[in-house]
Amino acid sequence: MTFSLLPVFRLLGILAALAVTIVAPTTYAQSQQDPLKIAMVLWRGETNVEQGFRAYFDENSIPVDLTIYDTARDLSRVPAIIDQIRKDPPDLVYTWGTGITSAVVGKYDAVDPAQNITDLPVVYVMVSSPWKTGIAAPAGQSRPNVTGAAHIAPLPAQINAIRAYRPMDKLGVVYNSREDNSVSNVADLTELGREMGFEVLAAPLGTDGEPSQDDIPPAVAELARKGADILYIGPDNFIGNYRDTLTDAGFANGLAAFSATELEVRDGHAMLGLVSRYELVGRLAASKVEQILIDGISPADIPVETLDRFSYLIRLSSARKLKLYPPLSLLDYAEVIE
């Protein structure tokens, strides 16, 4: 049976798109201002998010002086980085991911000025559930120095994207139970499943200690035994580090993988995904920096946003391996990657 994607996206109002342009209101000549000093606290070095961030300023002739602090996937490095930032304060701090952002700015209702940055504006990226994880303040409240750009498509859109490819009644999720964003995402999926008529088969890792790469294949095999129709890769740094282990285990058990983030399809072997392009997330964050540092708008008055259009990606090599070819109607909207 085939499913046309067009009614899905009409219903949701988010037609799949391959490009979004964020237009700055003004171009600023480099000779007219000093460079904006920005400290970037990153999870695993620069990504396409930072490429988009840099490109926004280059294209609009806004000079920036970026200082890179790479945690190398080690959150224990954040306090020392904060100390370094305080010794030579920038104009603004940029943070990547839920763990780093939470460590840098704290929860909205549990900020410690001794440990968290409170006296500099902070713009974050790649935080999948800013409200659920307490990084963003609840509706009607705001944080005086914090705003950001989220990147995950609405969960109903993700589920409809999966079902546009093939039927799905049981969604298998292997995730790190020690990552707040992953736990929040699975809880939201479970609640949504009651509304949309699917069951979440959860396989939490790390419940008895640090999760291991070796835990992934048996977890996938167990999900297959329970009748999972497809594997779901959410915003999970641990699973992202071992995405090939997950998808290889899926192939071994006849399971395709859907991803909510771009790289698992574009650079990995997930078969499909509904994603924000990383470059465009970086551009969205850069536009917020411009509002703060050039337009003089308080972070408290700049809403946390995600992109309003998403890309539907299909990795054809994975579809061939599993003999799960996409419906022809889907190819009118999807970006096919060999």
Per-residue pLDDT of the chain in tens (338 residues, 90 and over written 9): 333 443 444 433 433 333 333 333 333 443 457 999 999 999 999 999 999 999 999 999 999 999 999 999 999 999 999 999 999 999 999 999 999 999 999 999 999 999 999 999 999 999 988 998 999 999 889 899 999 999 999 999 999 999 999 999 999 999 999 998 899 999 999 999 999 999 999 999 999 999 999 999 999 999 999 999 999 999 999 999 999 999 999 999 999 999 999 999 999 999 999 999 999 999 999 999 999 999 999 999 999 999 989 999 999 999 999 999 999 999 999 999 99
Instruction: Give dist(CA 189, CA 235) in Å, integer.
Output: 12
φ, ψ of residue 201 to 5 degrees: the values are -100, 105
Contact criterion met (CB below 8 Å) for 269 and 169: no
Contact criterion met (CB below 8 Å) for 120 and 90: yes
Instruction: Give dist(CA 293, CA 321) in Å, integer.
Output: 49
Q: What is the pLDDT of residue 32?
A: 53
Q: Which residues 6+ apart lie within 8 Å of 119 measured at CB?
A: 113, 145
Handedness of CA 89, 95, 100, 105 (dihedral sign): positive
Structure tokens at 275: 């994603």
Q: At what angle do helices 98-105 and 78-87 cross, to 10 degrees?
A: 50
Which residue type sits at 133? T
The predicted model scores a pTM of: 0.82
Structure tokens at 331: 């190819």
Handedness of CA 291, 296, 299, 301 (dihedral sign): negative
Q: What is the pLDDT of residue 139?
A: 87
Contact criterion met (CB below 8 Å) for 26 and 52: no
Rg (CA), the chain: 20
Contact criterion met (CB below 8 Å) for 176 and 206: yes
